[in-house]
């Protein structure tokens, strides 16, 4: 999976990989973002380990997932709507050493941290105005 993105980015660098809320991301841009996050994961020790993701359906999930694959990690996807109890169970069950999340979701992760084996790794500087809050917090 990790090599497919590199091959595609080399073959079609200017083609659009995806569009999110009107912003187009090319395969070249995606490749650069994935490489940068891969280095960050490796720097914190996520090499051939389990990595939990607590992200909504936004571009960061694509970037984080590909980066984890490149670091040789096994990913465990988690729903941002999980309760603290559900999140704690799922992350512990996955044997994740790191939980990748957004600033917006960090308080929920911190409250359940005492019961988890993983440490959170948040993706900082998210512009909250672009996140679909209605989907994250439906009530």
Handedness of CA 10, 101, 42, 127 (dihedral sign): positive
Residue 88 is encoded by which pair of tokens?
């704690």
Tell me the C-alpha to C-alpha distance, in Å, between residue 91 and each of 33, 46, 87, 132, 139.
25, 15, 6, 24, 24
User: 62 near 18, Cβ under 8 Å?
Assistant: yes
Query: What pLDDT, on the 0 to 100 scale, is given for residue 103?
Result: 83
Residue 84, class by beta-carbon neighbours within 10 Å (0-12 exposed, 13-18 middle, 19+ buried)? middle
Beta-bridged to residue 9, according to DSSP, are none
Query: How far apart are alpha carbons 86 and 42 in whole angstroms?
Result: 28
Q: What is the dihedral of CA 60, 64, 65, 69, to 10 degrees?
A: 160
**What average pLDDT does range 115-123 have in this prediction?**
59
Query: How far apart are alpha carbons 48 and 66 in whole angstroms?
Result: 14
- Predicted confidence band of residue 127 (pLDDT cuts 50, 70, 90): very low
Comparison of pLDDT for 74 and 124, the residue scoring more: 74
Ranking 11-15, 112-116, 129-133 by mean pLDDT, the lowest is 129-133
Q: Express each pLDDT in 46-100 by its tens digit.
A: 888 899 999 999 999 999 999 999 999 999 999 999 988 898 889 889 888 888 9
Q: What is the pTM of this model?
A: 0.80
Query: How far apart are alpha carbons 29 and 32 in whole angstroms?
Result: 5
């Amino acid at each position: 999976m990790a090599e497919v993105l590199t091959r595609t980015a080399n073959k079609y660098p200017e083609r659009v990989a995806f569009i999110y809320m009107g912003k187009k991301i090319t395969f070249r841009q995606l490749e650069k973002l994935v490489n940068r996050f891969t280095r960050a994961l490796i720097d914190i020790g996520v090499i051939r380990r389990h990595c939990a993701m607590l992200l909504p359906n936004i571009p960061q999930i694509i970037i984080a997932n590909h980066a984890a694959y490149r670091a040789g990690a096994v990913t465990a996807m988690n729903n941002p709507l999980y309760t603290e109890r559900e999140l704690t169970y799922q992350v512990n069950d996955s044997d994740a050493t790191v939980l990748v999340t957004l600033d917006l979701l960090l308080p929920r992760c911190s409250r359940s941290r005492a019961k988890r084996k993983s440490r959170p790794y948040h993706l900082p500087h998210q512009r909250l105005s672009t996140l679909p809050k209605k989907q994250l917090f439906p009530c």
